Amino acid sequence: MTARRIALVTGGSRGIGSAASRQLAADDVTVVVNYHTNAEAAQKVVDEIREGGGEAVPVQADIGDPAQVRALFDTVEDRFGALDIYVNNANTAATFSTIADAPDEHFEQTFLTNTRSMFVALREAARRLRCDGRIIFVSSGVTKMHIPKFGLYAATKAAGEQMIRTLAHECGARGVTANSVVLGPIRSASFDDRPGGAAEGIAQQTPLGRIGEPEDAADVIAFLASDAGRWITGQSINAGGGLY
């Protein structure tokens, strides 16, 4: 019997992360469900996976703290030996303003914090993944759409996509693939609560006439993580329902 592969999903307790965790588990992957503060939500995801016959464990870590990121990878290695799949899903900071109005603090909170956390986590993944592993970065369509007040946030995602393209070349000799999934709007409680019918307005702009669901994102992530995705690397896969 082939041993289950091991996946680490950051921000795995809700939204895209929880859907990706469930789908990977359905594909016979053992999933480490990372969470920051909501232990109850993470345990719920783990319980649902186990009830479906899958394997999962919750592990707490603040992805914005480099020391905790390293400790998270250490925990995975101590418990499972090695890591096969890393899904960089968690966001650590986001502030929104025009570039002209953005104070230095917004740059530090948004760009430096996000980019540093991505760098530290992607570096650990690159060092530790087994041969033929998968690195998947969850990016955003704001890198394609040039939306006012999203400039700093978009820059953090663009930086992540560029790191992924570079990692594809640096890790390719070991059979490790690295790709970004560039998502459009995905339904969540906070998204649905936006005022003025924002969600409906965005849905009308997509050719498919709807907002993406977390499961839409999870299916793309799971495909890239699977053996079927072995020939795709260094790519930014647009998964925005045709919005961009």
Which positions are catalytic? 139-140, 153, 157
Place of tokens 């070991």: 174
Q: What is the CA radius of gyration of the chain?
A: 17
Tokens of 229: 């995705």
Report d(CA 75, CA 79) in Å as an integer: 6
Instruction: Please check whether residue 48 is in contact with residue 22, taking contact to mean a CB–CB distance below 8 angstroms.
Output: yes
- Say which residues have a Cβ less than 8 Å from residue 106's Cβ, sequence separation at least 6: 95, 97, 152
Helices and strands, number each (H, E), in the chain: 10, 7
Please provide residue 90's backbone torsions phi and psi, each rounded to the nearest 5 degrees: -70, 140
